[in-house]
Amino acid sequence: MAGNRGVTYQGPGKVSVETIDYPTFELKDGPGVNPANVGRKVPHGAILKVVTTNICGSDQHMVRGRTTAPEGLVLGHEITGEVVEVGPGVEFVKVGDIASVPFNIACGRCKNCKEGKTGICLNVNPDRPGSAYGYVDMGGWVGGQAEYVLVPYADWNLLVFPDRDQALEKITDLTMLSDIFPTGFHGAYTAGTKPGSTVYVAGAGPVGLAAAASARLLGAAVVIVGDLQEDRLEQARKHGFETVDVSKGDPRDQIEQILGVPEVDCGVDAVGFEARGHGAGAGKEAPATVLNSLMEITAAGGGLGIPGLYVTGDPGAVDDAAKVGSLSIRLGLGWAKSHSFATGQCPVMKYHRGLMNAILHDRVNIAEIVNATVIGLDDAPAGYREFDSGVARKYVLDPHNMTGKVTSVN
């Protein structure tokens, strides 16, 4: 049996690469594992040798100490891997397949899964609908920033790539299918983006850039990306998106300079609960800023797609209300303007096959747009530090150098 190592949360601001258990077809006790899931048999699972696994902004919320994640939790929910073993209940997935793993863990059997709501599966997390690998309060399924990982319900969850050589050639694009590309697409799609739309995306991190790219795929006439950091805005401009620097003030005036009117058809929140103020308040955390701003600048009858993460427990929040996810939202404004709101985990399966085809047929170069940078597993702590500083990169971990693209963190 091979050994295994993984990236673990060790307290606010700290991650380390540790020896962890090699996966088996049973969920064992460990940091973050729901007691009701301990001993759960997984004959329907597959063990994957991880090809690529990405550092996500959602991981950063935990690493900053902004959730109730326990120390020792193995991180990582953005996984692409090669199948090395399958359980006795697996019928279609084969050893040697290379596949994308949706970050949502779903059973494929419950009411929600059968309705395509795989982000809120009823059977994988004893505490609440919905689950994910390596994430706080998500059932305790071990994370995939590791050398090997277990994927339950493999026939249902895995998106197997049609050609191994083609997959490895385009792996830095395909690795984005596990989360950020479908999540960005979900934000743009649920905001109502269609041919000719004008779209504002709050946040120029990887999910925001994926949302911008998705809005363009959906036919938007103009895509505007807002952020506080100039290097991220430059990355957006590099790929043909208009930009707004919200450190200079309310985005309305800058949007008007671009469009001739101070509003857009569709708004996307790719920031989430650690939002900061605009203009004079740009350095201060103000978690309702983005949502309220989007209601201001989205036209009456427009939609807000909200893939940015909001939580029910934030020990580092600015006030007691925000610590339990209660924010000062101007819901009356959204109601008065007949806005639609779409929130929650992206149901990755709804989109990932189509987005895979867009990648394989050269309709989008998502790795270039998000500035994918491949590093080794041992460089994960440095990658977390760099990503937390706001660099315009998406760090991709390659534990076995299967991409042949591993570089060191600068």
pLDDT, tens digit, for every residue of 242-296? 999 999 988 999 999 999 999 999 999 999 988 888 887 777 888 899 999 999 9
Average pLDDT over residues 97-113: 98
On whether residue 352 sits in a domain, the answer given is: yes
Instruction: Give start and end residues of each alpha helix (H) in 7-76.
Output: 57-63
On whether residue 284 sits in a domain, the answer given is: yes
CATH number of the domain enclosing 173: 3.90.180.10
Sign of CA dihedral 89, 91, 95, 96: negative
pTM here is: 0.96
Q: Over 60: is that where the pLDDT of 1 sits?
A: no
On whether residue 405 sits in a domain, the answer given is: no
Q: Based on the domain organization, do 14 and 145 belong to the same domain?
A: yes
Strands 222-227 and 242-245: parallel
Q: Based on the domain organization, do 364 and 220 belong to the same domain?
A: no
Q: Over 70: is that where the pLDDT of 6 sits?
A: yes
Looking at residue 398, its pLDDT comes to 98
> What is the number of residues in the chain?
410
Average per-residue pLDDT in the chain? 95
Q: Based on the domain organization, do 206 and 233 belong to the same domain?
A: yes
Residues 73, 56: Cα–Cα separation, whole Å: 15
User: Which residue segment(s) compose the domain that 352 sits in?
Assistant: 5-179+347-397
Q: How confident is the model at residue 12 (pLDDT cuts 50, 70, 90)?
A: very high
Q: How far from each other are the two terminal CA atoms of the chain, in whole angstroms?
A: 34
DSSP of 333-378: HHHHTT-EEE-S---GGGTHHHHHHHHHTTS--HHHHTTEEEE-GG
pLDDT, tens digit, for every residue of 29-38? 999 999 999 9
On whether residue 36 sits in a domain, the answer given is: yes
The fraction of the chain above a pLDDT of 70, given in percent, is 100
pLDDT, tens digit, for every residue of 133-179? 999 999 999 999 999 999 999 999 999 999 999 999 999 999 999 99
Residues 318, 196: Cα–Cα separation, whole Å: 39
On whether residue 264 sits in a domain, the answer given is: yes
Q: Where is 166: in which H helix or E strand?
A: helix 164-169
CATH number of the domain enclosing 232: 3.40.50.720
Q: Based on the domain organization, do 200 and 286 belong to the same domain?
A: yes
pLDDT, tens digit, for every residue of 330-384? 999 999 999 999 999 999 999 999 999 999 999 999 999 999 999 999 999 999 9
Domain count across the chain: 2
Average pLDDT over residues 290-306: 97
Looking at residue 181, its pLDDT comes to 98
Lowest mean pLDDT among 15-19, 201-205, 281-285: 281-285
Q: How confident is the model at residue 305 (pLDDT cuts 50, 70, 90)?
A: very high
